[in-house]
Amino acid sequence: MTDETLAGRLCAVGTPGLSTALRRRGYHDVVVEGVRPLTPGQRFAGPARTLRFVPFRPDLFAERGGGFNPQKQAFDTVGAGEVLVIEARGLPETGTLGDILALRARHRGAAGVVSDGGVRDTEAVVATGLPVFANGSHPSVLGRRHVPWETGVVIACGGVAVAPGDFVVADADGVLVVPAAIVTEVLAEAERDEGRDAWIAARVAEGEALDGLFPMNEAWRACYEAEPQRT
């Protein structure tokens, strides 16, 4: 399965089902807390590229903050279908990307950006069409709180560890991180569960009660399994 197909199926099945399959494997803390889409309704999935900021300090900023710094390198080289994930220590009080960087990521074909910091030039970023999940908008430049430090390392974003290559899935329920090593099995399980839940939802929409149906007792399960598409 190509990354593109995988991303499409991860997007389609959605974060709730994936979250449940991850929880069964002991992954209880894999949701990026506190971020929201700049534009409601955005959803994407793809492998992670990571970018780590450290707190602003004049000497460290002099060392790595100027010129073609790690932040600009990350946006300049992000691959098609990739998701750029930024560690900004949950601070909404400064921008962590702006319109020029968003344009570049869009041009490169990035699937999206997730930052647990703020967005600058919000309207222009929205206009690029690049999906962004962040924890707010702010007019301040990066240097108010951060030094762009390094790329390609394991980071913390919204309380979750993100490693380069992890799959990141973002939709209306939030942003989820799926380790690459288990993404296929987690996806398959989530699709199976979501299929079952969609069938239950259809019954409830027809007026059936939850009792015995959700979760299914033996009678309902027999009924469910008897349907052609399930066998």
List, as residue ranges, the binding site. Answer: 98-101, 120-121
Handedness of CA 177, 180, 185, 187 (dihedral sign): positive
Q: What is the token pair recorded at 154? A: 């394991």
Which residue(s) pair with 32 in the sheet? 175
Give min distance, CB of 68 to a copy of itself, in A. 5
Is the Cβ of residue 28 or residue 227 nearer to a copy of itself in the bound state? 28
Is the Cβ of residue 137 or residue 184 nearer to a copy of itself in the bound state? 137
Site for a copy of itself in 172-201 (CB under 8 A): 172-174, 176, 179, 181-182, 197, 200-201
Which of 2, 5, 59, 218 binds a copy of itself (CB under 8 A)? It is 59
Give min distance, CB of 231 to a copy of itself, in A. 23
Q: Is residue 132 within the footprint of a copy of itself (CB under 8 A)?
A: no
- Alpha-carbon distance of 96 to 142, in angstroms, equals 5
Give min distance, CB of 203 to a copy of itself, in A. 9
Best CA proximity match to 134, nearest among 165, 152, 157:
157
Q: Is residue 54 within the footprint of a copy of itself (CB under 8 A)?
A: yes
The residue with tokens 């041009």 is: 107
- Alpha-carbon distance of 85 to 49, in angstroms, equals 6
Question: Which three-class secondary structure state does DSSP give residue 69?
Answer: coil
